[in-house]
Amino acid sequence: MNPVVGLDVAKGESQIQMFLDKKRPYNNSVKVEHTVEGLEELHSYLLDLERQTGMKPPVVLESIGHYHAPVVQFLEAREYIAIIVNPLVSYRAKSSNLRKTKEVLFNLKDFIDNLLAGLA
């Protein structure tokens, strides 16, 4: 298994989708706030995925202004790999997909799939 977590970062909150492996989502997408309590909730989701797979998952997110900074700081303090993607690269990956959707969950899935395909 190659677990990975995708974060759609916005002002004050992030939408999270976890994957056990490529195209194998784990649980439903959830939203957490960028507060101490919200980031601890994120950590509990990451620990749950880690228990299921036996691996610490990397976390992929876009560099959106300064909104991602507290999340990255939180992840790095807990020794998670945070992969910060330039929004222009993300935009190209999203626009290369012929199937257009408006739901964040599907965009996260497509983004992770395209990113993993590009890294392979």
- The 10s digit of each residue's pLDDT in 59-115 is 998 877 788 899 999 999 999 999 988 776 656 665 655 444 444 445 666 667 766
pLDDT band at 44 (very low <50, low <70, confident <90, very high): very high
User: For residue 73, what are its two tokens?
Assistant: 């700081």
**Mean pLDDT, to the nearest integer, of 13-42?**
93
Q: Which tens digit of pLDDT belongs to each residue from 14-23?
A: 999 999 988 8
Task: With residue 108 as reference, give the H or E element that holds it.
Answer: helix 104-119
Which of 99, 5, 103, 95 is closest to 48 using CA atoms?
5
Burial of 118 (0-12, 13-18, 19+ CB in 10 A): exposed
